[in-house]
Chain A
Amino acid sequence: MKVSYRVNGVTVEADGVWPGASLLTVLRDHMDLPGSKNACEQGECGSCSVLLDGELVCACLVQAGQADGLDVRTVEGLAGDGATETDVGDVQQAFLDAGAVQCGFCTPGLVVAVDHLLARNPDPSDAELREELSGNLCRCTGYVKIIDAVHLAAARRRATAGAGAAGGSGG
């Protein structure tokens, strides 16, 4: 079947998609967007997290056609529409600065989830962010540095917003 999504601000089509395929498979295998990771395909790990019409979802659990015509925001678009491969958004930069990336497999899903969280809650407590990120598993870091990174990103975003400039990125 044929599907068309608006991915990171650009309309992208894919043909020859098996109807049983997931949004994740279409992004990775048909649209050349391998940033969202496939680790479990059962909604447990969150490494495939994307925003679908602004909601944080596991792309592995959305059937390809269900997303037809909808907006998808992936890790590739976190630095804003039209970002290049080397551009990073503020959440990604905070992960780098806080040392919150080890093997990096969980990172794409986590930064999308954190971006979404900070868009709704600019100053989350530890308890709130642990709850909000409970669908994103990391096998390497033990989460301490990830939580540091969220607070760092949040503080920088608040400072930027306070300074009157545009805060955040894609979320």
Chain B
Amino acid sequence: MDFLQPTSLDDALALRAERLDATPIAGGTDLMVDINFDRARPAATLDLTRVPELRELEVDADGAWVGAGVPYLRILEALGDVAPGLCMAARTVGSPQIRARGTLGGNLGTASPAGDTLPALAACEATVEVASATRPRREIAVRDFIVRPRRSALEPDELIVRVRVPRARGPQQFGKVGQRNAMVISVASFGLAFDLDARAVGTGIGSAGPTILGAPAAEAWVAEAFGDHDLWATRAALPDGVAKRFGELVGEAASPIDDVRGTARYRRHALSVLAARALAWAWADARRAEDAA
């Protein structure tokens, strides 16, 4: 096994193109487990931890650029206001040790529909910026980034550079169901982002299909229901049944499977409950913010 350790993004991209048989490594919290257990034996690893461009985190008026190699711990310190949903998700990843090393680039690169940050990122319409040595950079919506389990939209010579996270335009929520409270792979997860300016609700579903899913029917229904009840303008309490119906529609958008962590039926049910709660909690936050203003 070769160990490649570039110290700039240009060098990293050149090496990526030269060594298509290399596997990038950031925090190692996914890849090292596979190497330790002999499930992966890459011909080379391409260490990204010494590439400064990948460790940049920039906040501007409209949101944040989060470098692919920024660990969760730093995201939690820096993005509480800009991206509350992402932070809620990041806080549930593994343990303090995992959050000190694990990165967004790694969560995306692993391309698991159980990656916890992905539904939160999808709900707020975050995009992934990827680069290669020879072609212009391109942006991929988080929702489209996973093509199928373990397969992302990355070309073999590309690296994830950074993620664009739009600034929250309303309350956000993230929830996951697992087998215990700490250190779990989720059985179902759900991200929700209110856009109070656009009068819209964004959704992201994890662990309940081969990819990260949205729930467009639920999004359209709830935006209209809020309009019908004049909630956008009045910030009135959620009428009975709205959260429940929203949850049902989110559940219908999923295409879960049976596996060791849960049955498809359980996953769909759990997702409905998560989505109904997320809507109710986020709307309660919106109303509190209005009261405080």
Q: Indicate the size class of the contact surface on chain A.
A: 20 to 34
Q: Do B97 and A19 have beta carbons less than 8 Å apart?
A: no
User: What count of chain B residues pass the 8 Å CB interface test?
Assistant: 27
Q: Do B3 and A19 have beta carbons less than 8 Å apart?
A: yes
Q: Do A62 and B32 have beta carbons less than 8 Å apart?
A: yes
What is the chain B residue whose CB lies nearest that of A54? B100
Partner-contacting stretch, out of B22-30, B225-233, B247-255: B22-30
Q: Do A20 and B96 have beta carbons less than 8 Å apart?
A: no
- Would you give the shortest CB distance from B150 to chain A, in whole angstroms? 18
Q: Do B32 and A134 have beta carbons less than 8 Å apart?
A: no
What is the chain A residue whose CB lies nearest that of B41? A20
Q: Do A58 and B97 have beta carbons less than 8 Å apart?
A: yes
Residues on B with C-beta less than 8 A from A1 are 3
Q: Do A19 and B100 have beta carbons less than 8 Å apart?
A: no
Q: Do A134 and B183 have beta carbons less than 8 Å apart?
A: yes
Cα of A135 to Cα of B95 in the assembled complex, Å: 5
What is the chain A residue whose CB lies nearest that of B26? A66
Q: Do A63 and B28 have beta carbons less than 8 Å apart?
A: yes
0 or 1 for each of B18-38: is its CB under 8 Å from A? (1 = yes): 000000010111001101110
Q: Do A66 and B25 have beta carbons less than 8 Å apart?
A: yes
Q: Do A57 and B101 have beta carbons less than 8 Å apart?
A: yes
Q: Do A43 and B25 have beta carbons less than 8 Å apart?
A: no
Is residue B94 within 8 Å, beta carbon to beta carbon, of the partner chain? yes
- Would you give the shortest CB distance from B49 to chain A, in whole angstroms? 6
0 or 1 for each of A131-146: is its CB under 8 Å from B? (1 = yes): 1101110000000000
**Interface of A toward B, CB cutoff 8 Å:** 1, 18-20, 22, 41-44, 46, 49, 55-58, 60-66, 68, 113, 131-132, 134-136
**Interface of B toward A, CB cutoff 8 Å:** 1-3, 5, 25, 27-29, 32-33, 35-37, 41, 45, 47, 49, 73, 94-98, 100-101, 182-183
